[in-house]
Chains A and B, each alone.
Chain A
Amino acid sequence: MVDQDVEEVAWEGMDPDGTVARVRRAQSWVPLIVTIGLAVLGLVGWQAVAVSRLPEPIMHPNRFDGVIYWAGPNLGPFYAKQDVHSAELLFVGDSRVYDDTDLDVVRRSGEDSVGLIWGPNADLSVLLPAIMDLPAERLVVALSPSTLGAKTNPVMRASLVTPPPVFEPLSLESALGIWVDGERARLIEEGYTPFIVDTHLSSFRKVLRETTRRSKGGTHQLDRVVGERLNYFRTENIRTLATRRWHREWFEVANADKLVNACRITLEVITEEERAAAEEIVVEKLRELVARGVDVRCVRFPVSPSVLAVEREFVPDARLEAIAAAAGVPYYQFQSEGLPAGVPPSEDTSLYETRDGSHLTWAASRRFTRQLMERIQGPGSGK
């Protein structure tokens, strides 16, 4: 791309014996030295002047991160991060749990064995029964209006009536391809448009692939490395260009109202009967967990004031508190004001800045996780 064809005397000055050729004309190293100097100056200037003036970095999470966690036929999809089958501390809930809980911060707070199970608009009345057999000693449950009776992606639900087969690592891609082809035909037959089906299945393949690799031990490393370069999954391959985690992202700005309408739509479709039924199951399962000796904490993750207002229209704060009270578990209410319940609101709403109204920015998620861990590990935590 850049000029690389300037003629050089070096090519005329090769030693006849074929060893190292000597340059006859001296050439200057000044450009290199000046470049390094300028770059160092630029970096110092950047650090001194620009960094403090940049907007809050926003993290771009991968929505399909983790491996599939089965709640049961037609119940999902949920995703598991880390080894949830051995984790002592388990976070469960919707995408807020995934986005807002920074596992690095959790680990730094002294929690070595931690896992996370989540799903978009995860319905706790489905998710909690599915995790009852896990050995976690402590459980953080994200309680919010959208986790009570929410309906997840209809295409995914239709696709996951039965779990896909367990794929063999060495024939993973072709077996996966066959499964996807079958699912595609079936879903299209059910009335979903090909484009929607393809998009969902192509995203979903990544999770299935990762799920197989994680569950197959020794060969997953080879598979992970080689599998990413398959021609069969062009769409997926281009996703490998996506950077999954950023320290800084300057190309998006936070918009606290972005998901207000989406939040309203999600809550509108849940009927009162469904919500009440979900509440009943949640209370029952939480009680069961407590009776087993599991240290359960219910947490309302922070959202923007506009999203909070919509949520309160459908489910008042008191109703969520009542669920925790009925189950006999502590309830921490982190709200958009950025302060735990009981603490007077301050003017500072940037403490838990959301990038879209429902999920925190990267920096805010770290702050939030620190505060959450202080509460969880505080007096009476059993930790």
Chain B
Amino acid sequence: MSFDSGTFWVLFGLSWLLWWRLPFSWAKTAALAASLIFYAWWSPYYLPLIIISAVVDYAAGGRIHAARTDGARTRWLLVSLCTNLGLLGYFKYGHFALENLDTIAGALGVKGVNTAIPWVVPVGISFYTFQTLSYSIDIYRGRLAPAKSFRDFFLFVAFFPQLVAGPIVRAQELLPQFQRRQWPSPWRIQNGLYLIVWGLFTKIVVADNLAPEIDRIFAMIPSGQATPAHVWLSLVYLGCMVFADFAGYSCLAIGLACLLGMRFPRNFLYPYISRGPQELWVRWHMTLSSWLRDYVYLPLWAKKGGDGRQYTAMLTTMVLAGVWHGAAWTFVMFGLYHGIGVVVNRWWVNTFNGGRRARGWPLDRPKGPGAITKRVGIILLMNVFMQSNWVFFRAPDVASVFEVWRIAYIVPFQKGMGWEVFAEARHLLLVLPIVLMHVTQLLREWFAWRERPWHRVLAAAVMIVALVVVRRTDTADFFYFQF
């Protein structure tokens, strides 16, 4: 049941009515039931997994809080960690591990292992296990009191707007909102509707229209028909598609939450205006990067041990971020790629800026035309870094990644770019909304430009028209469901 399917909107409509009509306690039960139906729609067989995860973490959270000794607290935390990471590892990475074991066995000349597994990756497992993990760890750290009711906790884990593809909402953010129902103001309802229209527009109009063209260009690569211009176009399209798809989903989730009177954290802050790899991860999938920062990077670094330890912590965190995206060597490479980028970025700041960033970074304003020109140059350069990385999401293996990069970076010097392709690149029209959104954000950040209500009215009207006009008869799944 996808957010852009009719079934979902029927379910949401019912849930919305029940949420506001029933007494709050019953409303939460109804929302939990709706969430479980939503999840079971994909696969009822994996419902027990989310139930196990919720039961174990609820119990572990309570025990950690009640434990009188550090040993007992640690033991219960380990129960939570092992359960969540065990489920994630078994269902998401089991096949990858078996495949690699089989390869190693083959290389050693011994009998390989059976890599056939009778399951598929449960939808959204990466998201809800991270949520439940943060709950246990926060209680362990004394930053959170355990949930008073299992129903509220289970609703936090399974709440359908964010269940399958985030944002990764932490217990500190969501559980208090289940204490009181907050009637949304007209502004809030309209804001929610606007976010929903925005999400649907980026998904249906931008992402879904770019996808066939990306396929077409990538299909040209093996036969040698793709010029470097083709490859660069496809990488830009891919970058816009992934952004439009994922940011679109996040916006839909946040918009739905708005209609239910809830607040979800922002998940994207226009990542393609980043000035460095570190800033990219401040703006891209913000709930994942902040999760990794708080629960992996900072504990690993512990702010001691010098630069080397910090860089190692960064690299490890980014590799984990890569592996979080998928069980394949291309995602390990994806993590390494960003890890190296982030480390180099940090080294630069440490070496040339004394480890300090500008006040208010990354929202600091440039001073004067020179600074603006420099920033625009850096942003463009950074986009080369960012758009090049999307091939990890598309290529079937690491060799293919290098083949695409070879065409993008080496072939132009051997055979030229093949610029004529741009004359027929009509899909660039779809890149325009994404560019416009980012430029608008630059205006906000650099020149304190304020969005007026009529801007939104106009934008929403245009998006609604586009949604109706560029309608489709077949749906495509949200990209991030697979993670």
Q: Kindly provide the distance from the CB of A189 to the nearest chain B CB, expressed in whole angstroms.
A: 15
Contact stretch, chosen from A39-47, A144-152, A276-284, A312-320 = A39-47
A29-B186, A196-B222, A222-B43 known; A43 and B215 CB under 8 Å?
no
Q: Which residues of B contact A4 (CB under 8 A)?
A: 191, 195, 254, 258, 263, 266
Question: Once bound together, how far apart are the Cα atoms of A170 and B117, in whole Å?
Answer: 8
* Interchain CB contact under 8 A, A243 and B400: no
On chain B, the residues within 8 Å of A193 by CB distance are 222
Contact B115 A251 (CB under 8 A): no
Does A35 lie within 8 Å of B394, measured CB to CB?
no
CB proximity of B148 to chain A, nearest CB, Å: 13
For A170, the chain B residues whose CB sits under 8 A away are 118-119
Which of the four size classes fits the interface of chain B?
35 or more
Given A10-B188, A225-B42, A231-B400 contact (CB < 8 Å): no
Docked CA distance A35–B208 (Å): 24
Determine whether B437 belongs to the interface, using a CB cutoff of 8 Å to chain A.
yes
Known contacts A195-B222, A243-B476; decide if A35 and B179 are in contact (CB<8 Å).
no
| Residues in B neighbouring A238, C-beta threshold 8 A | 211, 214, 393-394, 479
User: Distance in Å from the Cβ of B320 to the closest Cβ of chain A?
Assistant: 16
Smallest beta-carbon distance A15→chain B, Å: 8
- Nearest residue in A to B258 (C-beta to C-beta)? A4
A171 and B116 contact, CB distance less than 8 A: yes
The chain B residue with its CB closest to the CB of A240 is B477
B285 → A minimal CB distance (Å): 12
Query: In the bound complex, do residue A19 and residue B24 qualify as a contact, i.e. CB atoms below 8 Å apart?
Result: yes
Q: Are A199 and B183 in contact (CB under 8 A)?
A: no
Question: A1-30 interface mask toward B, CB cutoff 8 Å, 1 = contact, 0 = none?
Answer: 111111011110011001111110111110
Say whether A375 faces chain B, with CB atoms less than 8 Å apart.
no
Nearest CB in chain A: distance from B271 CB, A: 10
Beta-carbon contact of B457 and A35 below 8 Å: yes
Query: What residues of B have a CB within 8 angstroms of the CB of A174 in the complex?
Result: 95, 115-118
A3 is contacted by which of B267, B451, B470 (Cβ under 8 Å)? B451
Q: Is the interface of B mostly helix, strand, loop or mixed?
A: helix
Given contacts A177-B95, A228-B477, are A252 and B191 in contact (CB under 8 A)? no
Closest residue of A by beta carbon distance from B425: A251
Task: Decide if A195 touches B221 in the complex (CB within 8 Å).
Answer: yes
Give the residue of B184, B211, B221 whose beta carbon is less than 8 angstroms from that of A199: B221
Instruction: Report the bound CA distance from A194 to B451 in whole Å.
Output: 51
Judge whether B394 and A38 touch: CB under 8 Å. no
Any chain B CB within 8 A of the CB of A32?
yes
CB pair B462–A242 under 8 Å, yes or no, is: no
Contact between A243 and B43, CB atoms less than 8 A apart? no
Nearest Cβ in chain B — how far from A205, in angstroms?
A: 10
* CB pair B212 A243 closer than 8 Å: yes
Known: A2-B195, A8-B187, A252-B426. A60 touches B212 (CB 8 A): yes
The reply on B471 being an interface residue by CB < 8 A is: yes
A23 to B45, CA, bound (A): 43
Q: Please measure, in the bound complex, the distance between the C-alpha atom of A170 and the C-alpha atom of B462, giving whole angstroms.
A: 45
Which residues of the partner chain B approach A25 to less than 8 Å between Cβ atoms? 185
Q: How far is the CB of A193 from chain B (nearest CB, A)?
A: 8
* Chain B: minimal CB distance from A56 (Å): 15
Among A20, A240, A243, residue most surrounded by chain B Cβ atoms (within 10 Å): A243
Number of A interface residues at 8 Å Cβ cutoff, please give it.
76
The residues in A between 214 and 254 inclusive whose CB is less than 8 angstroms from any CB of B are 222, 225-232, 234-235, 237-248, 250-252
Choose, from B62-70, B324-332, B344-352, the stretch at the interface.
B324-332
- Residue pair A21, B115 in contact (C-beta under 8 Å): no
Known: A1-B270, A18-B24, A174-B95. A241 touches B222 (CB 8 A): no
Shortest distance from the beta carbon of B342 to any chain A beta carbon, whole Å: 23
Contacts of A19 in B (CB 8 A): 23-24, 181
Closest-by-CB residue of A relative to B99 is: A177
Give CA–CA (A226, B278) in the complex, Å. 35
Which single residue of chain B is at the shortest CB-CB distance from A248? Answer: B470
CB distance from B369 to the nearest CB of A (A): 27
Segment with Cβ contacts to A, from B138-146, B244-252, B291-299: B244-252
**Contact yes or no, B181 A21, CB < 8 A:** yes
* Interface bits B376-399 vs A (CB < 8 Å: 1, else 0): 000000000000000001111101
Q: Mark A127-160, 1 if CB is under 8 A from B, else 0.
A: 0000000000000000000000000000000000
Convert A164-182 into 0s and 1s, putting 1 for each residue whose CB lies closer than 8 angstroms to a CB of B. 0000001101110110000
Residue interface bits B437-451, CB-to-A below 8 A is 1, else 0: 100000000000001
Cα of A185 to Cα of B247 in the assembled complex, Å: 38
Instruction: Decide if A247 touches B194 in the complex (CB within 8 Å).
Output: no
Assess whether B116 is in contact with A175, with CB atoms less than 8 Å apart: yes
Chain A residues with CB under 8 Å of B153's CB are: none
Q: Is the CB of B465 within 8 A of A43?
A: yes
Known A-B contacts A18-B180, A43-B465, A234-B330; the reply to A31 vs B190 at CB < 8 A is yes
Min distance, Cβ A274 to any Cβ of chain B, angstroms: 24
* Chain B residue with Cβ nearest A250: B426
| Complex: A18 Cα to B152 Cα, angstroms | 14
**A202 interface contact, C-beta 8 A:** yes
Say yes or no: A229 contacts B481, CB within 8 Å: yes
Contact B191 A239 (CB under 8 A): no
In the assembled complex, A198 has its CB within 8 A of some CB on chain B: yes
Contacts of A241 in B (CB 8 A): 207-208, 211, 241, 245, 476-477, 479
Q: Is B307 an interface residue (CB 8 A)?
A: no
CB-defined contacts of B119 to chain A, threshold 8 Å: 170
A291 at the interface (CB under 8 A from B): no
**Measured between C-beta atoms, what is the minimum distance from B405 to chain A in Å?**
12
Contact of B394 among A18, A171, A235 (CB under 8 A): A235
List CB contacts (< 8 Å) of B439-483 with chain A. 451, 453-454, 456-458, 460-462, 464-465, 468-477, 479, 481-483
Q: Is B219 an interface residue (CB 8 A)?
A: yes
Answer whether A14 and B180 are a contact pair too, CB < 8 Å, given A199-B219, A238-B393.
yes
A368–chain B nearest beta-carbon distance, Å: 20
Partner of A226, one of B43, B183, B215, B241: B43
Chain B residue contacts of A202, Cβ below 8 A: 396
Question: Which B residues are CB-close (under 8 A) to A227?
Answer: 120
Contacts of B147 in A (CB 8 A): none
* Closest A residue by C-beta to B477: A240
A-B interface, 6 closest residue pairs, ranked by CB to CB distance from nearest = A38-B461, A42-B465, A39-B464, A241-B211, A27-B186, A251-B426
- Tell me the A residues contacting B by CB distance below 8 Å: 1-6, 8-11, 14-15, 18-23, 25-29, 31-32, 34-35, 38-39, 41-43, 46, 60, 170-171, 173-175, 177-178, 193-196, 198-200, 202-203, 222, 225-232, 234-235, 237-248, 250-252
